[in-house]
Amino acid sequence: MEANIADSNKERIVIVGGGLGGLELAFDMLKSDYQVVLIDKNNYHQFPPLIYQVASAGLEPSSIAFPFRRLFQGKSDFFFRMATVEAVNRTENTLQTSIGVIHYDYLVLAAGATTNFFGNQNFEQNTLPMKSVAESMCLRNTILENLERAETEEDEQKKNALLTTIVVGGGASGVEIAGALAEMKKNIIPRDYPDLDANKLKIYLVNAGDRLLGAMDIKSSHRAEKDLTEMGVILLQNKFAVDCQNDELWLKDGTKIPSKTIIWVSGIVANKIEGIPAESIGRAGRLLTDRYCKVKGTENIFAIGDQSFVEGDSDYPMGHPQLAQAAIQQARCVAKNFKAMAKKEPLTMFKYKNLGTMATIGRKCAVAEIGGQKFGGLPAWILWLVVHIRSILGVKNKVVILLNWMWNYFNYKQSLRLILKAKSSQK
């Protein structure tokens, strides 16, 4: 199999991963002095901050995904290839991929991160992650299927397990999906499933730490805890999950919670690519880089986004936050330096500018920390809506999401609660 990429007299930049960082870099390098090749295992870009809304049947997958080939139609010296990257050959400056060998002059690793199960096979096999559109669709199907089964289940113990959802992880993803499910319990279940007693639905949020949203101020944490508790979410703080067997989540204190829907959002680990020097790999698999985002021990390999750990920034000794803004800012810095290299101009060190942090909890409930200001409630919720609408690619997607949110605000009667499964064709 051949990658079928035309030779060029320009130096070639290969970008692995079309997430927020990789996509930003690809856009910035169009019409530059380089040939650009973007590689991703999917043929679409997905918008991670709204994946939980797909999982809770608030949005369709197509609203937060956009095909790469549509984004780059008609662009010269740009190539997209859908492939899985298997290894880097630093001696030959090549990538081994599922579609063959691809040569690079400069390589940018922006392949992001995946769910961290901390080496526990039972967590990996028996819980539901929520890191991609495909995983969110699986989660949505599971939630809806379990509600359907609960309506006809006569065994009370089995029925309770079907009606119990456990979210493991007290970060932004855990808070957001728990809040979305709590709103579903209040506004949707009584109407869609009148034969179920909505009061018997239980939503647990299990957090190993002593407060939610540990990356935010304690004031924001307390606000989120208060809002979720008022919405009916059962918070279990300082509770460490140790195993998951027989449709039960086991906690370190000996507690066992029966559930057919256990959502795992308890951490991430950088995606691994073979061929990177062992000394260049840091905590949680992140690639250690200098202040120019160049991978330690290499000359022409860079890393950005969730996959990278920029060393030497005294303001962030533990690494920059694995957030959208960090990935985008790193991409812009690397793009600027590539252009400077082509002109033999001085390079610019990466400096992260914290634009703030937000997390939504439910309708009119959110927390935000912007420019030293910490606030919540309706103002934070409206700001969250505006920021995310602006960040979505495509006018159509912006309009669809805005209309969905407006419709949901007033009546929650959107027709998105479909159980859809891919079926392989048999020939």
Lowest mean pLDDT among 326-335, 390-399, 403-412: 403-412
Looking at residue 423, what is its pLDDT?
A: 66
From residue 128, give the alpha-carbon distance in Å to each of 125, 282, 394: 8, 26, 29
Distance between CA atoms of 168 and 13, rounded to whole angstroms? 39
Average pLDDT for 18-28:
96
Q: What is the pLDDT of residues 162-195, one digit of tens each?
A: 999 999 999 999 999 999 999 999 988 998 999 9
Whether pLDDT at 199 is above 80? yes
For 121-266, give the CATH class. alpha beta
Q: In 56-132, which residue ranges form alpha helices assigned H by DSSP?
A: 68-71, 121-126
Tell me the average pLDDT of the chain: 92
Looking at residue 415, what is its pLDDT?
A: 54
Whether pLDDT at 240 is above 70? yes
Q: What is the pLDDT of residues 34-56, one digit of tens each?
A: 999 999 999 999 999 889 999 99
Average pLDDT for 254-275:
96
Distance between CA atoms of 376 and 227, rounded to whole angstroms? 10
Looking at residue 427, what is its pLDDT?
A: 46
Looking at residue 407, what is its pLDDT?
A: 63
Looking at residue 265, what is its pLDDT?
A: 97
Looking at residue 405, what is its pLDDT?
A: 67
Return the beta strands (E) in 215-319 as ranges. Answer: 234-236, 241-245, 248-251, 256-258, 261-264, 268-270, 287-289, 301-303, 308-310
Looking at residue 416, what is its pLDDT?
A: 60
Average pLDDT for 295-316:
96
Distance between CA atoms of 279 and 139, rounded to whole angstroms? 37
Q: What is the pLDDT of residues 331-357, one digit of tens each?
A: 999 999 999 999 999 999 999 999 899
From residue 166, give the alpha-carbon distance in Å to each of 67, 170, 175, 222: 33, 12, 12, 20
Identify which has the larger pLDDT, 200 or 386: 200
Distance between CA atoms of 340 and 28, rounded to whole angstroms? 13
Q: Can 12-115+269-343 and 121-266 be said to share one CATH topology?
A: yes
Domain boundaries, the chain: 12-115+269-343, 121-266
Average pLDDT for 131-156:
95
Superfamily name with CATH number, domain 12-115+269-343 = FAD/NAD(P)-binding domain (3.50.50.60)
Looking at residue 389, what is its pLDDT?
A: 81
